[in-house]
A and B are shown apart, each in its own frame.
Chain A
Amino acid sequence: MKAQKILAWTAIAIGALYFLVPLIGTFEFSMRMRRDAYSFDAYHSVFSDMQFRATFGFSMLMALFTIVFGMLLVVPTAYWVRLRLPQARPVVEFITLLPLVIPAIVIVFGYLRLYNSSSWLPFTGSVAGTNMLLVLSYITLSLPYMYRAVDTAMRAIDVRTLTEAAESLGAKWPTILFRCIFPNVMSGVLSGAFITFAIVMGEFTMAALLNRPAFGPYLQLVGANKAYEPSALAIIAFAITWLSMGLLQLVSRFSKLAPART
């Protein structure tokens, strides 16, 4: 028993070292901008860079649009599939999993082929159109996570009976969806939102090939041209991801605090 415990802790220690040593190394390196002393100069340099602010703000905005429009697509779809088209569930699940299988570069080339400025729907013909296409491509990328998060939350509530209860009380579809279903899958919606946020903030391929000033391409640009700032940016990117994951955990823990009493 004791030997097993030691083995378990050794495995955890090796795992922690594997993940933490590079991170600590990166952090340590990011602090060495000033000669002979540790400092946050690299972070100061990053935060005072106008391009950082612009790309970070742009990606935040794109993430926000991705979350809002993604949820407007995913929640009614997952709801409808669960309620009226359960036989279509495997097909929908397969479709939502495709972005994990098809590389982002293939997806974006497909978009460029379909929606270039001389196509029937010239998204890339204007800045607003390209931004819209970027949001749509982010929605595609985050679909596997968003759909699963929402679908899992819907599994936890009895969607069919809640819908029927609301209908019997005179409610129509918009009321049912926004007052009875949406608030009850909020934990799933927020989980999906945080993971989408993390994906969008670090995404490079789509933004670079659509030539949009997003945070991903900025990370790459700084990485290619500066010494200490890329390490600082890597730590900042990690912090954003961890913050999202932490919030995700917090939301799912809060939703677990409310089990039905029998």
Chain B
Amino acid sequence: MSFLVLDHINKSFGVTQVVKDFDMSVEKGEFISFLGPSGCGKTTVLRMIAGFEMPSGGRISINGKDQNNLKTSQRNIGMVFQAYALFPNMNVFDNVAFGLKVAGKPKAEIEARVKEMLALIRLDHLSDRYPYQLSGGQQQRVALARALAPKPQVLLLDEPLSALDAKIRVSLREEIRQIQRQLGITTVFVTHDQEEALSISDRIVVMNAGRADQIGTPSEIYNRPATRFVASFVGTLNMIEATVADPAADTVKIGGELVGLRQSLAGRKSGDKLSLALRPEAGSIAANAKGDTALAGEVVSSHFLGSVIRTKIDIGGNQVSFDMFNSPDAIIPAPGEKVTLRFAAGDLLVVED
């Protein structure tokens, strides 16, 4: 049985249902990210695991034990908040020691554990500082140490990097992942930043309007988006509208041109509308470009972005962006130029609406 189980979880605030039939199982030591836009219900699910909100329906269990009737203080979870939430009246040592003191641990044990935690986050030299004397990144590391000190069953991270600047965000997320691996603690991480989720998770739950649209590894989520929402939210996928030409031959028509797909179109009828996704990095307009599929189009715009050149092409009424790496002899296509976009048929993905 999985370590953390969310079984048909529902949550309503008044008449508004914010989480709908949410199902998920997390293995021990796994790092799961909830990814989605604001208001999709990801934080509500996290808060239900923590016990701050009670589910309107469904069951939450940790290590086989039903959590629904337990208060937050009885669940043995560690939580890190976006706003750090360090106790301003306590120094770093006392903040980290708080959970251990509440649990009534002996003084010597508290001291040893706090020192261990501060060494883990490399802030042992700042143990007597107060939160206001620390930078945002340092405060969040202390918050992480405080959450981990009482050895929780599950670590919950509620957008812990959102309040930090870009550089610290990257280094701290790597640090969080390293500590999580080191301790082997089951972790649920909430974020709206797809790069963050893709870079540190074992699995990602992409949430949309209270539901889990797709649960999968970062590679699955990025390369094989199950729905149009996942495709548009993760990465910068191009959406191409097509019409089924011959379901038996798995061919579709894009702006009058016949294109063969690798995915089966079984169950669809000729003339059915469907959405296809194509990654910006999958296509090329270079003369020597590889790819078994070619589509004629017209350049709409080109933008030089430093390391890449982003070009937008109109293909049968669909505007498709693709990126090519910059090089000193790269020719930037001019708007209105007729080009041929080449890509592998396998890069065209059928996505559900």
Contact = CB atoms under 8 A, between A and B. Distances in A.
Interface of A: 157-158, 161-162, 164-172, 175, 179-180, 183-184, 186, 258-262
B68 interface: no
Nearest first, the 7 A-B pairs at minimum CB distance are A169-B99, A183-B89, A165-B85, A168-B79, A167-B72, A161-B85, A258-B132
A42 B133 CA distance: 51
B144 to A, nearest CB: 12
Contact of A260 (B51, B74, B132, B146): B132
B81 A165 contact: yes
B interface, how many residues as a size bin?
35 or more
Interface string B36-71: 000000000000001110000000000000000001
Contacts of A162: 85, 87
A166 B81 CA distance: 12
Given A169-B98, A169-B102, A170-B102, 14 more contacts: A165-B143, A165-B146, A166-B87, A167-B51, A168-B79, A169-B73, A180-B87, A258-B130, A258-B132, A260-B132, A260-B139, A262-B135, A262-B136, A262-B163
Given A168-B72, A184-B88, A258-B130, A158 B136 contact: no
Contact of A169 (B71, B83, B130, B146): B146
A169 B132 contact: no
B88 A175 contact: no
B135 A261 contact: yes
16 contacts: A157-B88, A158-B83, A161-B85, A162-B85, A165-B81, A167-B72, A169-B146, A169-B147, A170-B73, A170-B150, A171-B102, A175-B102, A184-B87, A261-B132, A261-B133, A262-B163
Contacts of A170: 73-74, 76, 99, 102-103, 150
B304 to A, nearest CB: 34
A179 B52 CA distance: 20
A261 B88 CA distance: 12
A93 B295 CA distance: 68
B119 interface: no
A167 B88 contact: no
A162 B78 CA distance: 14
A170 B136 CA distance: 25
B131 interface: yes
A161 B87 CA distance: 10
A157, A168, A186, A262: residue with the most chain B Cβ atoms closer than 10 Å: A168
Given A164-B79, A261-B132, A262-B136, A169 B88 contact: no
